[in-house]
Amino acid sequence: MDNQSRTETARVKEHVRAPASYLNLGCGERCHPEWVNIDLAGCLPGVIQHDISKGIPFPDRSFSVVYHSHLLEHLRKEHALAFLRECHRVLKCGGILRVVVPNLEQIVRCYLSCLEKALRDQEPESHLNYEWMMLELYDQAVRTRCGGLMARYVARPSVPNLSFVANRIGPSAMASCRPAPIPPFRQRIEKFVRQRGVFLTSRHVASKVATLVRDAALKVVLGSDFEKLQLGRFRASGEIHEWMYDRHSLKILQEQAGFCQVRVCSAVESGMEGWPEYCLDTNLDGSAYKPDSLYMEATKPE
């Protein structure tokens, strides 16, 4: 481990109060207090802010379990193997790696089914379902703004095939895409803020002014290339999908990283004792948090 890695490890350890043996990488808001939770944003209490592209900031054989959900597909294909080898490094011998990704096989099979039905006009919603499956296949790889066309589709006042879409992505994803009603009092405040150009906190003022000044200068320097910069910023933000996996390609990747006993699981199945109780892949009612997922576990050899 080089000096920079040692410094990063020491910084992270300052935030870890308990010797938790389970590691949750790229957790977002899906974390558990009994786990060590790491995310690029680190916006929740107890979540360590760290960029996993710089490695996992812990010594060899630190954890019994390493888990990450809907993270691997955001890494470039050429970086995926190195990342899984990092997961292998920090796992204890006999430890479990649990990887959750969008299920390419399931998406493609559903797309083909919807395509056939649309071609035959078999069902009233067949064309809408086909349109949605096209978005599932491509939108997260080509979008140029947050949420992309999928969010725009779901946020419409009326979604005729709402049940189909909800079954594909889950109620949590649906709720995040659909705008919540804004209370009348808050509407009046926000209208006042927009009309007067007032910002509610000095921190917000400083951040907004700095961004406006920076972007104004960049527009002058870059001219028409400024839009390309904005696009590059978005694509580097980590939202888009860089690659997709099925049970075959993910198994090969895990084995190349040094794992054995690679197996497909369900949202509630795991080699970890009491896995469903953590509610990381499931909602409180036991349903899958992201139904379009592929769940695979592997073991680090003894």
Give domain limits for the chain: 3-102+246-299, 105-177, 184-235
- The domain made up of 3-102+246-299 has a fold known as Rossmann fold (3.40.50)
Neighbours of 264 (CB within 10 A): 13
pLDDT at position 202: 54
Q: Strands 47-49 and 91-102, how do they pair?
A: unpaired
Token pair of 269 as six digits? 């199945």
pLDDT at position 222: 79
pLDDT at position 11: 47
**DSSP character for 182?**
P
pLDDT at position 119: 95
Distance from C-alpha of 224 to C-alpha of 79, rounded to nearest angstrom: 32
pTM above 0.85, yes or no: no
pLDDT tens, the chain, 302 aa long: 455 555 554 444 444 444 479 999 999 989 999 999 999 887 788 899 999 989 999 999 999 999 999 999 999 999 999 999 999 999 999 999 999 999 999 999 999 999 999 999 878 899 999 999 999 999 999 999 889 999 999 998 889 999 999 999 987 777 766 554 444 444 444 444 445 444 444 555 566 677 788 878 878 887 887 788 777 887 788 889 999 999 999 999 999 999 999 999 999 999 999 999 999 999 999 999 999 999 999 999 99
* End-to-end C-alpha distance for the chain, whole angstroms: 23
